[in-house]
Structure 1
Amino acid sequence: MRVTTDLWVSALTRRVFADGGFAAVVKRGATEAGAVFILSRDRLGEIALFGPASQTAYDSERPDDRRFSRLMATVEAEAVDARLEKERRFDSDIWIVEIEPGRTGMAELIALSEP
């Protein structure tokens, strides 16, 4: 059984803080099953946007895991904002979480899939 998005985001933010990073929920979406987009900023100013992976990325043995793929990697915040606005117009129930990872990298915080 898949946990609610609200609980999953809460666990992610706590894990980031416990690891010396920073996390903030920029936009709260649907409590039960909203799609999650993660905006990651590193200390060098690079921004990466992660979104839900395609259905083909899910493992049949663990179908309830949340998987993500890298949608963008840039230093231009305007490009990321435009992409997120497009996603908001498509689905108003999305979650946007901004993370500055601490000692743990993004690949250890979230399950990443290659596009």
Structure 2
Amino acid sequence: MARLTSAVLVGALTRRVHQQGGSAMVLARGDATAGAILVLALERGANPRFFERGVGPDGQPALIATGPRTLADDGEVTAYWQRRRSQDGDLWVVELDVAAAERFAAETICAG
């Protein structure tokens, strides 16, 4: 089975979030075909958390929590994703601010 490209997955994710009245922004574009996708999930502009597609315990694609457990301010949030991006120029970084951001990301980027 062919896997959807990273660009298609990011496009689908941002459209779904916008349709639900949320905010979705691509902070950094990665490789269109196979770039990893780092999701910055927010709740009304607060409580930042990072997730990315990985392999779950059942061997299937899953959304995995990554990054620091607590982030004191916007500067730490930005520093984290920029550091990751400097190590992987193919990495997509997408910010989502919508209720159930983690669910939206899991349903979209782990299904593709």
Does structure 1 residue 69 correspond to structure 2 residue 64?
yes
**Counterpart of 1:49?**
50
TM value normalised by structure 2: 0.78
Instruction: Find the partner of 1:93 among 90, 102, 105.
Output: 90
Structure 1 gaps, min length 5? none
Identity across the alignment (%)? 30
Unpaired segments ≥5 residues, structure 2: 108-112
- Count of matched residue pairs: 104
Q: Cα 1:52–1:31, aligned 2, differ >3 Å: closer, same or farther?
A: same
**Residue deviations 1:77-103 (CA, integer Å, cap 9, x gap):** 2222222122112211110111111xx
Q: Structure 2 CA distance, aligned partners of 1:19 and 1:106?
A: 11
- Runs of 4+ with >6 A deviation: none
1:40 maps to 2:41: yes
Let me know the Cα RMSD of the aligned residues: 2.1
TM-score, normalization by structure 1: 0.76
| Aligned residue number for residue 23 of structure 2 | 22
What's the counterpart of residue 83 of structure 1?
Answer: 80
